[in-house]
Structure 1
Amino acid sequence: MRIGAHVDPTDPLAEATARTADAVQFFLSDPQGWKAPQPRADADRLRAAEVDVYVHAPYIVNVATGNNRIRIPSRKLLLAHAEAATAIGAKGLVVHGGHVNAGADPASGIENWRKALAYAADSGGFGLPVLIENTAGGENACARRLDALARLWDVIGEYEVGFCLDTCHAHAGGEELLGLVDRVKAITGRIDLVHANNSKDAFDSGRDRHDNLRGGTIEPDLLVAVVRAADAPVIVETPGGAEGQCGDIAFLRGHLAPETSAV
C-alpha cells in the first residue's frame, strides 16, 4: 500500500523524502484562485520519480453550481489542471464534489456535473483519472452524504470518474466510518484514493478541520480499519509539517498488518 502526504508544491520530491513517503499530493496553483497552472521546471523529475504523484484541484472549483460565473470557469480550470497534472505524470486529480446554491434543486448540480464531464470529453478528455472527493459540509452538497453520492453516480458513472474517500469529511459530514468502505463501493464500485485524516470536530458537525491520526474525535484504530478495507493508496492531509505527517505515515504503516476484521 502506497502511503504519502499532501505537501508544499515547491519541491514535492524533497518533501516526500522528509516524510519517507511513497506518494505526494499538492496544488499546481493557488487553491483559492482562478489562475491556470503553469508548466513546472521539475516535470521530468516528477514523471521519472518512484514517488507517486497526485494533484488536488483548487478548492474554488465547483462545476455543480448554477452560478454561471463560477460553473463555467470551474469547468475550464478543472480541465487545465487535468492537462497540467498529466504533464507531470500524476496518477489522479482530486476535486471536491461541489454544491448547488441554497434553494436550488440538487438534481441541477448533478446535471451540471454531467455537462462538465461531457465538456471535458468533447475537449479531448482529462488524460488521467479525475477523483471526486466527498465533502464535510453543506446541505446542498453533491458528495457529502451517500444518498447524494448515489444520485450523482447514477448520472456520471458512465464517464469512469474515480472516487477519493476522505475520512475526516465523512465523519464531519455525518457518515459513520464503520462499514463505510462497503457502502461507498456499493455506489461507486471503487475507491481510488483515501485521504486519511482525523477530525478536530464532532460527528456530523459539517466542519472540515483535519487533525493528526492519533488526535481528534475519531478512534485511530477505526481510521486504520478504513484504510485497510479500502485497499487503495493513502494521502494524509494532516497538520504538523514534515514531523507531524511523518508520524502519521509511520502510524499507518505500523498498524496495517493483516487482521481478520475490516470496516
Structure 2
Amino acid sequence: MLRIGCHLSSSKGFLHMGKEAVKIGANTFQFFTRNPRGSRAKEIDPEDVRKFLEFAKEHDICQILAHAPYTLNPCSKDAKTREFAWMTMEDDLKRMEYVPGNCYNFHPGSHVGQGAQEGIRMISEMLNRILKEEQHTTVLLETMAGKGTEVGRSFEELAQILDRVELKSHMGVCLDTCHVYDAGYDLAGELDQVLEEFDQVIGLERLKAIHMNDSKNPFASHKDRHEKIGEGSLGLETFEGMVNHPKLKGIPIYLETPNELEGYAREILLLRNMEK
C-alpha cells in the first residue's frame, strides 16, 4: 500500500496533524519544525506527543517528515547566518527525539558566490558538528532545482556532502520531482535512467523520501515552481510510472503541491488509484 501524505500545518500539534492526515486518506505527513520564514519554534507538549503516538499506531501512520525552515543557509558567506542555521537545526534534532525514528529534511543552502565546493565543505562541516551518534532521526538532503547559487543541484553535489559526513548512517536524501526535473533530470522521458544515475552516484538505499510535485516550468528551467499533480510539465504518466516503479516501492511520498486539504485529498486518491 502506498505510503503517502502531504504538508500539514504544525500549529495545533502532532495529534491534530495525525487526525488531518487520516481525514484526507493519508498515512504519513510532512510539517515544518517552526515558522518556515523565521526562527521561533512552538514548545512541544509531551501529552500531545503521547496521544499522537497512540493515534499513529492505531492508524498506521509512520515515518513522518519534518522540514527545516527555508531561511536557513549553512553555507552562507556570513558567519552569523551559518551559526544560526547550525543552532536551529541542532535544536530541531533535539526536538525530533520526542518522535523518534522519523526524518528531518533540509535545503542544503546557497553558496552565494563562494563556489559549490566551498558550500559543500560548509554544509558537511555543519552536519559533522550537529549529528549525534545517539540520535534517532535520519537527516535528509533535498535535491534542488539549481536556481541561483543553490548547492544540491546535481546528484554529484549531494554525494560529495554525504561522503564528507562522518555519521553516514544518520543521513539520506529526499528527491523532489519538481526540483530534479527543473535541474535537468528527465523524470518524464527517462525515469529508469534517472534512477539508475541516482543509484550509481548516491545509492538508492539513501533515498528515504519523495516530494511528489508537478512543475509549472519546462524541463531544465532551474526555476522551482511547484504545480498540482498532472497539471504541469511532468504530467500524469510520470507520476503513474513513479508510483509503480519497483525501485521506489515503500519510499514515503509527500505532496507539496499548491493545494488546500481538499485538493490534497483528491491528489492522494488519484495517486492511490494509479497503484497497480
Same fold (TM over 0.5): yes
Taking the TM superposition and a 5 Å limit, the aligned residue runs for 1:240-259 are 240-257=259-276
Give the structure 2 partner of residue 260 of structure 1. Answer: none
CA separation in 2, counterparts of 1:114 and 1:141?
15
CA separation in 2, counterparts of 1:61 and 1:185?
28
Give the structure 1 partner of residue 194 of structure 2. Answer: 180
Give the structure 2 partner of residue 65 of structure 1. Answer: 76
Is contact 2:128–2:166 with CA below 8 Å preserved after alignment?
no
Q: C-alpha displacement at 1:242, in angstroms?
A: 1.5
Q: What is the TM-score when the length of structure 2 is the normalising length? A: 0.85
CA separation in 2, counterparts of 1:22 and 1:171?
26
- Shift in alpha-carbon separation, 1:76–1:126, aligned structure 2, 3 A: farther
Q: Deviations over 1:136-171 (max 9, x none)?
A: 233532211223223333323753311100001111
1:199 matched to 2:218? The reply is no
DSSP 3-state at the match of 2:173 = strand
Code of the aligned partner of 2:49: A
Which is worse superposed, 63-72 or 35-44? Answer: 35-44
Q: What is the TM-score when the length of structure 1 is the normalising length? A: 0.89
Code of the aligned partner of 2:168: Y
Code of the aligned partner of 2:21: A
Code of the aligned partner of 1:72: E
- Shift in alpha-carbon separation, 1:242–1:36, aligned structure 2, 3 A: closer
Which is worse superposed, 15-24 or 225-234? Answer: 225-234
Q: C-alpha displacement at 1:199, in angstroms?
A: 0.8
Taking the TM superposition and a 5 Å limit, the aligned residue runs for 1:152-231 are 152-156=161-165, 159-160=168-169, 161-177=171-187, 178=190, 179-189=193-203, 190-227=206-243, 228=245, 229-231=247-249
- Shift in alpha-carbon separation, 1:62–1:224, aligned structure 2, 3 A: farther
Give the structure 1 partner of residue 5 of structure 2. Answer: 4
CA separation in 1, counterparts of 2:165 and 2:42?
26
Give the structure 2 partner of residue 19 of structure 1. Answer: 24
CA separation in 2, counterparts of 1:158 and 1:181?
25
Give the structure 1 partner of residue 96 of structure 2. Answer: 85
Q: In the comparison of the two structures, how many residue pairs are matched? A: 255
CA separation in 2, counterparts of 1:60 and 1:139?
15
CA separation in 2, counterparts of 1:47 and 1:63?
32
1:113 matched to 2:132? The reply is no
CA separation in 2, counterparts of 1:162 and 1:25?
16
Is contact 2:74–2:83 with CA below 8 Å preserved after alignment?
yes
1:39 matched to 2:44? The reply is yes
Is contact 1:168–1:210 with CA below 8 Å preserved after alignment?
yes
Q: Deviations over 1:172-200 (max 9, x none)?
A: 22222122222222222221001111111
Code of the aligned partner of 1:153: L
Q: Deviations over 1:4-43 (max 9, x none)?
A: 1111223212220221101011112100112245213521
Q: C-alpha displacement at 1:216, in angstroms?
A: 1.0
RMSD: 2.0
Unaligned 5+ residue runs, structure 2? none
Identity score, percent: 26
Give the structure 2 partner of residue 234 of structure 1. Answer: 253
CA separation in 1, counterparts of 2:133 and 2:161?
23
